[in-house]
Amino acid sequence: MQESWRWYGPYDKITLPEIAQTGATGIVNALHEVPYGEVWQSEAINARADQIRAAGFDWVVVESLPIHERIKRGEGDLSQLFANYRQSMANLAAAGVKVICYNFMPLLDWTRTDLAAPVARGGTCLRFEAYRMAAFEIHMLGREAAKDDYPQDVQDRAKAWFDQSITADRDALLHAIMSGLPGAYDRYDVDGLRDALKLYEGLDRAALRGNYKRFLDEVIPTAEELGMRMCVHPDDPPRDILGLPRIVSSAADIDWIMDANDSDANGLTLCSGSLGANPVNDVPAIAAAHADRIHFAHLRNVRKDPDGAFEEAAHLDGDTDMVALTKVLLTEEKRRLEAGRADHNIPFRPDHGHELLTDIGGGTFPGYPMIGRLRGLAELRGVIAALSHTA
């Protein structure tokens, strides 16, 4: 497995020379400065690729080449947006970047309610608190239908929190919920989010699936021609939020996606944290079922609460059996190698580390500190070494 590291380019306080000290050899990067829907020009791609290679790395995965929201909504004439996406794919392939991670979450990317929840022995982590999300939806956003999405005890806690909260508390909650998207994206205040949600009225699960199927049919043939691999990232959290459907949240969802376009180019980003936040998901089993279509892995762990809350655990200390999951990936790598596949080496990265020691207050992207991810990489490296030695 190829050790890789997510780097946010000019937006990142962590430098490539610092990343080199982790031992990782691959960089996961994107042109976050390009607005959604516009073509990633060859000049910009090549400049970034040259910068990464000059520092001694391979640019192994694009994360992400974003999908315009109009495509997700199926709104209007989409021919130019699809053409732009395919051109960006071609420009990336020409630069030698052949794996694209993307998601199909409407409007928001990963969502948390707390960016600095305390960890038992010191440090902080990302946390999704069900009652705070309910407070935001019901009492701040004023979405009455949200009451159907939360059990009564969570609603009671939500009201209690909202009633005692002050403006700073509500601003911090909004900031946390809006923090999942880096680069050229829209952040909303409450009124702006309310207006944005109106554009999705009537978009149910079936409609979103139909729009996703259309996206796959538009881009997967191009991926095949270019020798590229597309790999969808699961929903985070793996549940409907803000009244918007999520369609990449469960084993059944992934089964549907793989069947919707039965091509090796239509693959999966195996994110153990996103899938692990859904209590019905057996993450190692999902990985085993779709091992031949896993082109990238995010390895992290979560600890869940009965009310739907969850938080980022240490990489080997959560609800997912990371040793069993890693064994699935190593077994698949061996199968690919024996079959003579050039893509036998699956890139992975440690995901969403804790803020520890001098990470705290360092101003890195939420979930992407240096020391916490380095700890995760070291732990995962040990698991891989042990499993490889006993294979």
User: Which pLDDT belongs to residue 180?
Assistant: 74
Residue 64: cis peptide before it, omega within 30 degrees of 0: yes
Q: Which CATH superfamily is domain 2-108+203-390 in?
A: Divalent-metal-dependent TIM barrel enzymes (3.20.20.150)
User: Which pLDDT belongs to residue 187?
Assistant: 74
- Express each pLDDT in 45-65 by its tens digit: 999 999 999 999 999 999 989
> pTM (2 decimals)?
0.94
What DSSP assignment string belongs to 307-367? TS-EEEEBTTBSSS-HHHHHHHHHHHHHHHHHTT-TT-S-EEEE-SPPB-GGGTTS-PPTT
For 278, 295, 317, 318, 332, the CA distances from 376, given in Å and listed in that order, are 22, 20, 10, 12, 22
Share of the chain above pLDDT 70, in %: 98
Which two three-digit tokens encode residue 316?
Answer: 């080997």
DSSP code, position 9: G
Residue range 65-71: average pLDDT?
95
Reported residue count of the chain is 391
CA dihedral 89, 92, 96, 98 (to 10 degrees): -40
Residue range 338-352: average pLDDT?
93
Residue 158 has pLDDT above 80, yes or no: yes
Which two three-digit tokens encode residue 387?
Answer: 């499993």
Question: pLDDT class for 389, splitting at 50, 70, 90?
Answer: confident
Residue 240 has pLDDT above 60, yes or no: yes
Residue 146 has pLDDT above 50, yes or no: yes
Q: Vertex 147, ends 257 and 127: CA angle to 5°?
A: 65
Share of the chain above pLDDT 90, in %: 91
User: Which pLDDT belongs to residue 182?
Assistant: 56
For 179, 316, 371, the CA distances from 348, given in Å and listed in that order, are 23, 15, 17
Residues carrying CATH 3.20.20.150, the chain: 2-108+203-390
Q: Looking at the DSSP assignment, which residues form a beta bridge with residue 273?
A: none
Question: pLDDT class for 106, splitting at 50, 70, 90?
Answer: very high
Which two three-digit tokens encode residue 314?
Answer: 């240490």
Residue 390 has pLDDT above 70, yes or no: no
Please state, as a whole number, how many other Cβ atoms lie within 10 Å of the Cβ of residue 247. 21
Q: What is the C-alpha separation between 224 and 222, in angstroms, rounded?
A: 5
Question: pLDDT class for 185, splitting at 50, 70, 90?
Answer: low
Residue 368 has pLDDT above 70, yes or no: yes
CA atoms within 13 A on the CB side of 176: 21
User: Which pLDDT belongs to residue 23?
Assistant: 96
Residue range 366-382: average pLDDT?
96
User: Which pLDDT belongs to residue 306?
Assistant: 93
Q: Which residues are catalytic?
A: 233, 271, 298, 351-352, 368
Residue 169 has pLDDT above 50, yes or no: yes
Residue 364 has pLDDT above 70, yes or no: yes
Question: pLDDT class for 125, splitting at 50, 70, 90?
Answer: very high
Average pLDDT over the chain reads 95
Residue 184 has pLDDT above 50, yes or no: no
For 240, 250, 297, the CA distances from 135, given in Å and listed in that order, are 15, 26, 33
Residue 237: cis peptide before it, omega within 30 degrees of 0: yes
User: Which pLDDT belongs to residue 30?
Assistant: 96
Residue range 122-149: average pLDDT?
95
User: Which pLDDT belongs to residue 108?
Assistant: 87
